[in-house]
């Protein structure tokens, strides 16, 4: 099928680019590792408050941190696309018979692969800090992060295709990413939040992802939180990807 072979071509090309400048792959790791080293120790003192069982703060913090990595690691991929619009690469692709969806799908899959590598690295670093790894739960959680990456990178590409400029893209993404991450209970469990904040978090799809991620790290694969998290994030990913493809199709028109 043309779409699959075109997606493979686009994916290979994007991966090649990423490997040529591996510095970015590691720069993205810098932030979560700093959180791990400089923020997590603060939490240990809080052990015992609701949502943060004593001596197990790392078990609660890491799954949130991984969701944050998935969100922020993928949120700014649109900058590369703006560059390719400017250099005419995207127009050149669009004049060929290439399958339109493949142009974005190849890139999104690249973002997913890079993200999963980063998640594995951060998780392994956390093990010496007392993280107890449930292999089954962790494997399923990687799938969850993959869909978060699809959502966020699709959103980033969608805005890149609409704005075609780094400046507007950067302020839009920051404006969205910051409240969305604050309202997802990434840093601290939302049980600690006042009711109005919890209600607000209830309309944030990523708060469901964080809940699912924590349940998976606790080894509760069968938890209803996991199912809800997956449903919400898969729907979001599908919606945002569809929107990005639509933006590509009507980019010039």
Partner 1 sequence: MPETCIIETNGLKKTYSTKSKGRKKLVEAVKGVDLSVKKGEIYGFLGPNGAGKSTTQKMLSTLIPPTGGAATVNGFDLLREQKKIRMCIGFVSQAGGTDPLSTGFENLIMQARLYGADKDTAKKRAEDFIRRFQMESFADRRASSYSGGQRRRCDIALGMIHHPAILLLDEPTTGLDPQSRAYLWEEIRNLQKDGVSVFLSTHYLDEADKLCDTVAIIDNGEIVAQGAPADLKAGIGADTISLDFATADIAVKSMELLQNAEEVENANAKGNTVHLHVKNMEQVLPSLLRLLDTNRFEAQSIALMKPSLDDVFLKHTGRSLREDNYNENDQ
* Range list of H helices, the chain: 2-20, 23-34, 40-44, 57-75, 78-86, 89-95, 100-126, 135-163, 166-182, 195-202, 205-217, 224-249
| Angstrom distance (rounded) from CA 4 to CA 48 | 50
- Least CB distance to partner 1 at residue 177 (A): 26
* 86 lies in the binding site for partner 1 (CB under 8 A): yes
Among 16, 27, 124, 235, binds partner 1 (CB under 8 A): 16
**CB atoms inside a 10 Å sphere around CB 235:** 13
| Angstrom distance (rounded) from CA 205 to CA 212 | 11
Q: Give the contacts of 216 (CB within 8 A, at least 6 positions apart).
A: 63, 134, 137, 138, 140, 141, 144, 226
* 25 lies in the binding site for partner 1 (CB under 8 A): no
What residues from 94 to 113 belong to the interface with partner 1 (CB under 8 A)? Answer: 94-98
- Least CB distance to partner 1 at residue 108 (A): 18
Residue with tokens 């969850």: 144
Going from the C-alpha of 76 to that of each of 28, 57, 95, 169, the distances in angstroms are 10, 29, 26, 9
| Angstrom distance (rounded) from CA 168 to CA 172 | 6
Tell me which DSSP letter residue 47 carries.
B
Q: Which stretch binds partner 1 (CB under 8 A): 8-16, 31-39, 51-59, 196-204?
A: 8-16
Tell me which DSSP letter residue 189 carries.
-
Residue with tokens 């969205």: 176
- Least CB distance to partner 1 at residue 88 (A): 3
- Least CB distance to partner 1 at residue 97 (A): 5
* 19 lies in the binding site for partner 1 (CB under 8 A): no
Q: For partner 1, which is the closer residue by CB, 147 or 163?
A: 163
Q: Which stretch binds partner 1 (CB under 8 A): 40-48, 85-93, 144-152, 237-245?
A: 85-93
What is the per-residue binding string for partner 1 in 107-146, x denoting contact by CB under 8 A?
----------------------------------------
* 20 lies in the binding site for partner 1 (CB under 8 A): yes
Among 41, 53, 54, 91, binds partner 1 (CB under 8 A): 91
- Least CB distance to partner 1 at residue 155 (A): 23
Q: What are 47's strand-pairing partners?
A: 49
Q: For partner 1, which is the closer residue by CB, 82 or 215?
A: 82
- Least CB distance to partner 1 at residue 91 (A): 5
Query: By the criterion CB under 8 A, which residues form the site for partner 1?
Result: 2, 6, 9, 13, 16-17, 20-21, 84, 86-89, 91-98, 252-253
């Amino acid at each position: 099928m043309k779409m699959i072979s075109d997606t493979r071509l686009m994916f290979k090309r994007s991966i090649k680019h990423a490997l040529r400048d591996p510095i970015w792959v590691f720069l993205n790791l810098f932030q979560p590792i700093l959180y791990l080293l400089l923020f997590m120790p603060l939490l240990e003192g809080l052990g015992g408050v609701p949502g943060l069982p004593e001596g197990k703060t790392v078990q609660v913090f890491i799954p949130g941190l991984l969701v944050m990595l998935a969100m922020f690691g993928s949120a700014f991929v649109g900058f590369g696309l703006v560059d390719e619009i400017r250099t005419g690469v995207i127009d050149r692709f669009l004049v060929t018979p290439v399958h339109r969806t493949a142009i974005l799908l190849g890139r999104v899959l690249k973002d997913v692969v890079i993200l999963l590598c980063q998640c594995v690295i951060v998780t392994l670093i956390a093990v010496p800090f007392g993280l107890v790894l449930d292999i089954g739960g962790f494997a399923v959680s990687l799938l969850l992060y993959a869909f978060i990456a699809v959502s966020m990178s699709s959103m980033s590409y969608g805005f890149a295709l609409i704005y075609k400029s780094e400046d507007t893209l950067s302020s839009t993404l920051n404006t969205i990413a910051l409240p969305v991450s604050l309202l997802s209970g990434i840093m601290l469990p939302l049980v600690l939040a006042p009711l109005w904040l919890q209600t607000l978090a209830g309309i944030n799809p990523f708060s469901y992802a964080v809940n699912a991620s924590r349940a998976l790290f606790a080894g509760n694969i069968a938890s209803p939180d996991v199912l809800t998290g997956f449903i919400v994030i898969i729907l979001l990913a599908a919606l945002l990807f569809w929107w990005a493809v639509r933006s590509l199709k009507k980019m010039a028109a």
